[in-house]
Chain A
Amino acid sequence: MLYQQIEQNKRKTILLVLLFSILVIGAGCAVGYLGYENIWLGLGWAAAVLVFYVPITYMSANSQVLRVSGARPATREEHPQLYHIIEELCIPARIPMPKIYIVEDPSPNAFATGIKPEKGAVAFTTGLLERLNREELEAVAAHEIAHIRNYDIRLMTISIALISVIAILADMGTRMLFHQRRGNSNKKTHPAVYVIALAFIILSPIAARFVHFAVSRNREYLADATAIEMTRNATGLKNALIKISGSDLNVLRANKTTASMYISNPFSKERKKQGTSWFSTHPSMASRIERLERM
């Protein structure tokens, strides 16, 4: 049931925050040790970054994604059909009407944002609106609304924020290493601990990314399933995904960080890959379509 989905997502968010916090603190300790032979100093930094950076990202994530992607609000007069479709879908999803945005881009894609349903927003590229018929557009909108109502975006936002914290710390760590090699002494550093700290700094951003992508891929399958539970129409989504994956265009203003927010990978090269790797933001189109056909 969907309500269990939501509860599960909220629990997963907490678990994810804990897991990432351990990674951040670990990376902080490693940086402190390598740089100043003082674990506590690194720990302090990590804690400071966690306390300030994460809540700020969390609160500004909504407007940031919309700004970065160049989305502008859609008016009801301009896009009556799109408004109708979203209004319709809010009924089975039982969420308030999200804001609707348009991204001027010939590549067909869509994303949703909003850390809770009351602040939800959905954005569609002009390429998507041109290519899809009402049924397919409804399916894509249902997928995005599924992300909002399942609290996927909260999970993804926090995960992105934490990844960047770990990336910052790892970056600091690598800079220090260079600095030290040219500097004079690090006699007090025990070689074994040194290696562990080094490994931590190199591996923690990779591990964080790995977890993030795994969570992201899983959410895509679930949003597809929720969308079909709402619309009771698997064909619409299947056709929409086929049309989207068939495009050779990249979403111009998408970047690595926002890529996981889109319904399909915004970079056509990634989108056309056959298999699903550990570092894919989305499951492969083939496997999504296959699951839709089985429903």
Chain B
Amino acid sequence: MAWVGLGIVVIVVLYVIATYNGLVKLRNWVKESWSQIDVQLKRRHDLIPNLVETVKGYAKHEQETLEKIIQARNQMLNGTPNERIEADNQLQSALKSIFALGEAYPDLKANQNFLRLQEELTNSENKVAYSRQLYNKTVAEYNIKRESFPSNIIAGMFSFKEEQLLTIPEAEKAVPKVSF
């Protein structure tokens, strides 16, 4: 009987260790995926002055659009995650209007520098989008483990805190169902 008791204790201890480590791993993935977003936001931040300079020469009457972009850019690197994402959303719509300018100014559209910046910014934008997606997926996975039984007991014992999802209306990108 003593052996059975000992066996149970060993199994429980092993379970606690494995769950604890699993939670730690997921929590670090959450941090890592946030820093991914951060890196991409910074990159986009660095690209914007170049874009504004390129556009300035061609579209002198669009001062307002350019100012909006610079303003949004300056907000992007400060604040809480959700505030920064909000600033990034504003920037994104402002950038769209800049690229729409390309249609109105054929010379600008043909400018190599403009085209290159457009591709660079598309790249940056996609990376931000993918990083967000990864972040949310990781947070969801962490929260599910944190809240479901019996791993929630261990999460409670070591006070693993809930992580916040990024809430952005992704109107154009509906989540497809993957079912087999």
Report yes or no: B178 in contact with A228, Cβ–Cβ below 8 A: yes
Given contacts A88-B127, A91-B127, contact A232 B175 (CB under 8 A): yes
Report yes or no: B176 in contact with A89, Cβ–Cβ below 8 A: no
Q: In the complex, A230→B179 CA distance in Å? A: 14
CB-based A-B contact count at 8 angstroms: 47
Partner of B131, one of A91, A230, A232: A91
Given contacts A225-B178, A295-B178, contact A88 B119 (CB under 8 A): no
- Residues of A with C-beta under 8 A to B175: 232
Most buried by B among A81, A91, A234: A91
0/1 per residue, B118-147, Cβ < 8 Å to A?
011011001100110110010001000000
- Residues of B with C-beta under 8 A to A221: 180
Given contacts A228-B176, A232-B173, A232-B174, contact A81 B119 (CB under 8 A): yes
Question: What is the distance, in angstroms, from A232's C-beta to the closest C-beta of chain B?
Answer: 5
Given contacts A81-B119, A84-B119, contact A91 B130 (CB under 8 A): yes
Report if A87 contacts B (CB, 8 A).
yes
Within 8 A of B (CB), among A56-107: 80-81, 84, 87-89, 91-92, 94
Report if A229 contacts B (CB, 8 A).
yes
Report yes or no: A229 in contact with B178, Cβ–Cβ below 8 A: yes
Report yes or no: B176 in contact with A232, Cβ–Cβ below 8 A: yes
Report yes or no: B123 in contact with A88, Cβ–Cβ below 8 A: yes
Report if A258 contacts B (CB, 8 A).
no
Report yes or no: A87 in contact with B127, Cβ–Cβ below 8 A: yes
Given contacts A84-B119, A228-B178, A232-B133, contact A91 B173 (CB under 8 A): no
Question: What is the distance, in angstroms, from B89's C-beta to the closest C-beta of chain A?
Answer: 17
Main SS of chain B's interface residues?
Answer: helix
Question: What is the distance, in angstroms, from A53's C-beta to the closest C-beta of chain B?
Answer: 34
Report if A126 contacts B (CB, 8 A).
no
Partner of A233, one of B141, B173, B180: B173
Count B-side interface residues using an 8 Å CB cutoff: 22
Question: What is the distance, in angstroms, from B15's C-beta to the closest C-beta of chain A?
Answer: 19
Question: What is the distance, in angstroms, from B21's C-beta to the closest C-beta of chain A?
Answer: 15
Q: In the complex, A294→B102 CA distance in Å? A: 37
Given contacts A80-B119, A87-B123, A88-B126, contact A295 B131 (CB under 8 A): no
Question: What is the distance, in angstroms, from A221's C-beta to the closest C-beta of chain B?
Answer: 7
Question: What is the distance, in angstroms, from B121's C-beta to the closest C-beta of chain A?
Answer: 10
Chain A minimum-CB-distance residue to B170: A232
Within 8 A of A (CB), among B23-49: 36
Chain A minimum-CB-distance residue to B127: A88
Most buried by A among B119, B131, B133, B178: B178
Give 6 closest A-B pairs by Cβ, nearest first. A84-B123, A91-B130, A88-B126, A295-B176, A92-B130, A232-B173
Q: Which residues of A pack against B, CB within 8 Å? A: 1, 80-81, 84, 87-89, 91-92, 94, 134, 221-222, 225, 228-230, 232-234, 295
| 10 A-B residue pairs with CB within 8 Å | A89-B130, A92-B130, A134-B122, A225-B180, A230-B130, A232-B174, A232-B175, A295-B176, A295-B177, A295-B179
